[in-house]
A and B are shown apart, each in its own frame.
Chain A
Amino acid sequence: MGEFKVHRVRFFDYMPSAIRAMAFNSHTERLAVARADGAVEIFNFADNYFQEKVIPGRDGRAVEALCWVGRRLFSAGLDGELTEYDLENLRPKYSIEAYGGPVWTISGNSQGTLLAAGCEDGTVKMFEILDERIQFQRNLDRQKGRIISLAWHPSGTKMAAGMMDMIRIFDTETGSATHRMLVERGAGASKSKEVVVWSVAFLSDHTVISGDSAGKFQIWDGSTGTLIRSHPVTKWDVLVLSVSQDESSVIAGTSEGTVVQFQFIASTAGQEDKHWFRTRTFKNHSHDVRALVHTDTAVVSGGMDTQLVVRPLLDKVEKNTQESALRKIAFPHRNLVSCAKKAGLLLFQFPDHLELWRLGESDGNGAPGEILPVKRKPEKLIQLKRKGEDHICCSALSPCGSWLAYSTVSSVRLYRLTLSSNSVSIQKVSKLPKELRSVHQLCFSLDSSRLFASSSLSSVVVVALDQTECRCLHTLKHKSGSKQPIHILCPSEDGRWLAAANTDCEIHVFDLHKKKLHCSVPAYSSCPTAVSIHPASCSLVSVHADQQIFEFSLKQKEYTEWSRQLQRQGLHPLWLQRDTPVTRVTFNPTNPAHIVLHDAFMFCIIDQSLPLPKAETKLYNQMVLRSFPQPQRSRESHAFKICKNFQHLLSVTLLEDLSLVVVERPLLDIVSQLPAPVRQKKFAT
């Protein structure tokens, strides 16, 4: 197969933001995750937990609560505003001021007609949900002290509100508080501190469940306002609660990073008399669990340690299947690294700035396994701070390294770079065509003469670049009617084709010469995670969230023979069991049979000329092959050459000089930058 020189890059200080809130829509199986920087991400649980959409954050916006109403997503934050998101254009649709100070929580009723917001000033504000917007309806009785948490009774007539030191029950029709349930403060020194009821749940049998800052999980009778049972769960805070749909199980997230499950079961089997019992404890986080979702089959948790953890409940799923495996989603499912193949430059995208680095050099060659001496160290050329308050949503670097573009939800900026050996200059291109306003994805053609930008309604704007001006040539549109945003753009090397994939699982191929749609790849049920056009054979290789690989010939407009054979034989089970999506596909310019692709834990070179691995052969066979002599090696080898030497990969690209650039971000480095977790007494410390 051959030797590769690998630039192992670890200086991308990517730091994901802490998870603050989550909301799960069980009809569409979409999970919305809000992060501390205000970004909102949508994960499709029906499609291998693929991160379909990312709505970038904004300075000063801190999302404190998320709420789905039907297919609409609302959020509220400490800035005192309620926001609805435009999930087709990946931006906030509108925000309205609640006029009650910071909003701590929002909650929609099960009928989908009202949205309640709990405010700092002690009011619960009701908003009517209209087709295009929401409208303030009225306030419930104003209380002393802030409203921290809210829960609707499924009937919609009552509502429980967690406050400081107490829980109130409101009659939503009259707006008056019917019960006042005092929550006991913590013992000892914390006696003088108010207890915060961080989370409440209201079950259909009028049971109210609360979690508070004294570490208690309490069960109340909502109709009489009496405490039924109190479970001390932690010495610290119980931060969040989530109820299963059938109301037989409640999970509570704590500051210790644990998730505790309570179940409504009979103490002895067969008896009718049911109580809430503490059953399981999960410890998948090192820090506060701030957000929690109880799906039918799993506990989904997130918190300060930035990872999204999907922990299947083993009594709800079939054991030893892919579904029963624990998943940790630590990295975004999109590329934050752009690589200029010709110039050997790397562009790193952060929410508030971009970094441009030049790779180092080494002279000479070494034997496999060796580390070569670095002759020239890598060098940070530019750190470009974004303008405005909106965070960067996408960025691109042209292959020759002379153009740089980034976009926020409100604007696109294009820069011309001049790099010589010892000086760097950057010049903003001032007049951009007005079509370039709100884009989701940016991409340069290989000869750097075109900039492609995915715009609203699944359209692609083509911009011609030269030294003097930049003008919009045309807008490419397809006729499938999908309004979902395009998340992948990929031009072919010869400049003839452009592939665009959207989150409706569609891949459209445009003919850039004829400026119209060439064809659409037959729709597949899983969303494409990486798409690329082969430079020689003009076939389109797509990898999907369910790990399937397809090759579609653009000339014949049909799947290639290799692709059909792959589908007939099926991919190796171990390949299908991987839990991170392939985020980039590239090709080896010297060997057209080679496809290079990577996920977070491996990169793989698929040699199309070799036989496909059968289910019973060893997929990860590099170590075995190494021990064989050459003739046996070629007999035993199969098409998938997988290298796991590098872990936590954010990007793997092949430069023009055939050296690989591997960008790693070790999880330990991320963990080391987190704040200290709550102190816990451990044995012998």
Chain B
Amino acid sequence: MAALCEGYTLCGLVPALNQLSSEIQGIEEERDCDHVIVTDSTRSVTLYKVSDQKPLGSWTVKQGQTLTCPAVFNKHTHEYVAVSDNKVIRIWKEDDILLDKAFKATVSADVRAVHCAHGGEPAVLFQRGAVRLLDSLLSAPQQPVEEILVPEEAIRWSTSIVAETQQLIIFTTELNGDHFLYLQRLNPNSVQKYRLEPEGPGLSPLSFWASCKDKNICLLYLYPNGHLYQSLVSVRGPATDEGAQVVPLPRDPLLSLPVGEEPLDAASAIFLDDAHVAVVGVPHPAAGPGKDFLCIWNTNFQTLQAAKEMAGKLYGQLWSYSSKLFIPHGKVLSVIPFACPRSSLASALGKLKQVKTEETKPPTLVSSWNTILHGEQPPKPVETRKPRTTRRTQSAPSLTIDQVQNLIKTAPAEEVQKEVERLLSRQDLQDLQPSLGQLALALVSRSLADPAFYSSSSLTQLVHTQCLSHSVCPDLLPLALEKKDYFLCQLCLQFFPDIPEAVTCACLKAFISLPDADSEKLNLEPESVSFMEMLISNEHAQMGLQNGFSPASCEEGRTDTIGGPQTKAEEKGNASPKQSCPLGLHKAALINEVLQTAYSETFLLPHLKDFSSDHVVLFLQYLEFLYLRYSTDSFSQTHGCRSPTLNQILDWVCMLLDAHFTVLVMTPAAKGLLLNLQCFVRSQVRLFSELGKIEGSLQQLNSMKMKKDVGQYSIEVIELY
């Protein structure tokens, strides 16, 4: 799970006059990961040691001059390069004190920026799109510079990357609302121009970010409507004549970020690694309309991994160097270290969830995983548009997502329910997937705001699509609990991969304390109920030897632990026939659902401690009952229903004992229970130690069989050289 650490301030900022952009023009890494140079928007360049949070040096141009591009550091020569007043290139070293006495050269055209990629040479990008290596430019500063861009075209963003020893200057331009990407390769020089797919009228990308991903340049860009796209461009480029034609740039939607009412104005997104994106200036999905958040999203699972509210105004600026995010906000520049461990399903979900049932389930669940994992690759827009147009010709036009969303805010419950149903009955549900979360969010927030409004069936349907997760709609499950909508709770537990342990425990608590009388009236998922029915009806069927454990031997084992014949008889009386289910049918079905959720023990334990001792004993009795049922020989796990596995049950027993050990030992009611468990475990340990003894020899047998594969006769082909 990615995490944002506690940040610290690197320096204070003087707010710029127009209040819209920050004072900072750029931040570049200096000699190592602990040094950065910060160029402010006017005149000065400051070198900071990040871990010490203090400046090591500062250089300023004369009053009246301005720095027009961020200073860069050339690691080969240990020189700083900056441009003042668009045309004067300045180069200095760390021990130069006065910038005016350092080297300068005036060039013939306006410079857009100087870039020095890690491992590359400094290169100069001119306003009109030409690119020169700094060295060659300085050898003849007044050399004529050609114009690449057409007159109206303007550079919006630029960067430099070294990929496979190929140095590239990448910049985007805007021309009459169209956006273009230029890929300028250096040594040998060649340029390739791509056209970005238009997103919508009047929408220009807010931010760009480029990184190198195995032989491809990966361009990440964010639109004001919250859509985040990724485009891959090969470093090598097509073999066609350079720049001859404009190639359309294919794009893959990565995320659809929640935006709120207004479009975004100052936001940016950068890749932290293959699967994580840091986004600044976008509202937190659970925290209302404020946009002052720094979030890390996992693009594989579309889950929010970490978020941090930043004090003061955000300028939509974000840099990342060596596991630190640099973010100007309010009146300070903060450094926030982060960690993005390699994401896997297990880390994203806490624990691997229900491998067995996923196999036995019909493929819907599996395909839903695919959409969660690869939701960023829906079919190409051309393909999806086509069915949409045909649908419009159909008789009953269903409302678009946005319309339904608006409807939810005001309309009565019945109408909302109807519209949601109609929306969900559409076939292209897969395309809708990102927006379903917003729909659920809207429903939940309406319900929270308006206690009279609660549309259980709509929410149920939404959960049934299996496109939702807890991080997309964190209030849904607590709402369902509050409304005592246990069926919805069950579905959520079943389909959400990422329920926090606190919520899981809250559900468990609610389920256990549910009066039996109420629970029997519940309408739950039939499969889970039928499983419990089977389990309970099975219970009276036979009482034989159970996986090496027989009640009789259990009794025998116990005699030496408890003295006195009287207690023995007593124990016998209440222990052996105690195989009936301590919970009601529906209640048990609900608890089974909890048993199957994913969790991390460390997070679950503190919440488990809140349980009262009665509840713990009851729960433990139920777990013991399940365990006994499972370990009978007659009850194999081949029934195919979704059910907790033996391991899950044992894990819960262990956790419960851990959380309440002292309480259980002190409680007289739990004594018999604990003794039962103890002798059960002992008999199992005995069995397994016996099994362990023969394991080695059986394994040997296996390997022997493998070896003896040479038959009596074969026809082979050999070659002699």
Contact = CB atoms under 8 A, between A and B. Distances in A.
* A, B in one complex: yes
Interface of A: 1-11, 360-362, 365-372, 374, 377-378, 605, 622, 625-626, 633, 637, 641, 643, 645, 666
B720 to A, nearest CB: 4
Nearest to A1: B720
A637 to B, nearest CB: 6
A148 B24 CA distance: 110
Nearest to B717: A366
Contacts of B713: 7-11, 360, 374, 377-378
Contacts of A622: 720-721
5 contacts: A10-B712, A371-B716, A378-B713, A605-B720, A643-B718
Contacts of A377: 713
B715 A368 contact: no
Interface string B254-287: 0000000000000000000000000000000000
Interface in B690-721: 710-721
Nearest to B711: A10
A378 B711 CA distance: 12
A643 to B, nearest CB: 6
A259 B418 CA distance: 96
A641 B715 contact: no
Nearest to B708: A668
A603 to B, nearest CB: 10
Contact of B718 (A4, A362, A637): A4
Contacts of B721: 1, 622, 625-626, 633, 637, 641
A5 B717 contact: yes
B719 A3 contact: yes
Nearest to B713: A378
A366 to B, nearest CB: 5
When A and B form their complex, which 6 residue pairs have the shortest distance between CB atoms, in order from nearest?
Answer: A368-B719, A625-B721, A1-B720, A362-B715, A11-B712, A372-B715
A370 B716 contact: yes
A395 B721 CA distance: 35
Nearest to B721: A625
Contact of B717 (A11, A367, A378, A633): A367
B717 A3 contact: yes
A369 B718 CA distance: 6
Interface in B165-191: none
A369 B721 CA distance: 13
Contacts of B720: 1-2, 4, 605, 622, 641, 643
Interface of B: 710-721
Contacts of B719: 1-4, 368-369, 626
A543 B710 CA distance: 32
A10 B711 CA distance: 8
B700 to A, nearest CB: 13
A369 B717 contact: yes
A549 B712 CA distance: 33
A8 B717 contact: no
Contacts of B715: 5-8, 360-362, 371-372, 374
B284 to A, nearest CB: 61
Contacts of A641: 720-721
Given A8-B716, A371-B715, 7 more contacts: A4-B717, A6-B718, A7-B715, A362-B715, A366-B717, A368-B719, A625-B721
A254 B717 CA distance: 46
Contacts of A366: 717
B12 to A, nearest CB: 67
B711 A645 contact: no
A9 B714 CA distance: 7
B715 to A, nearest CB: 4
A9 B721 CA distance: 23
Contact of B710 (A10, A372, A605, A643): A10
A377 B711 CA distance: 12
Contacts of B716: 5-6, 8, 369-372
A643 B717 CA distance: 12
Q: Which of B711, B715, B717, B718 has the most CB of A within 10 A?
A: B715
A121 B288 CA distance: 115
A537 B711 CA distance: 40
Given A10-B710, A10-B712, A11-B712, A372 B718 contact: no
A10 B710 CA distance: 9
Contacts of A372: 714-717
A5 B719 CA distance: 9
A625 B720 CA distance: 9
A362 B711 CA distance: 15
Nearest to A626: B721
Contacts of A11: 712-713
Contacts of A374: 713-715
B312 to A, nearest CB: 67
A6 B710 contact: no
Contacts of A9: 712-713
A98 to B, nearest CB: 46
A641 B721 CA distance: 7
Nearest to A373: B715
Contacts of B711: 10
A91 B719 CA distance: 45
Contacts of A6: 715-718
A633 B712 CA distance: 34
A595 B5 CA distance: 78
A605 B716 CA distance: 18
Nearest to A621: B721
A623 to B, nearest CB: 9
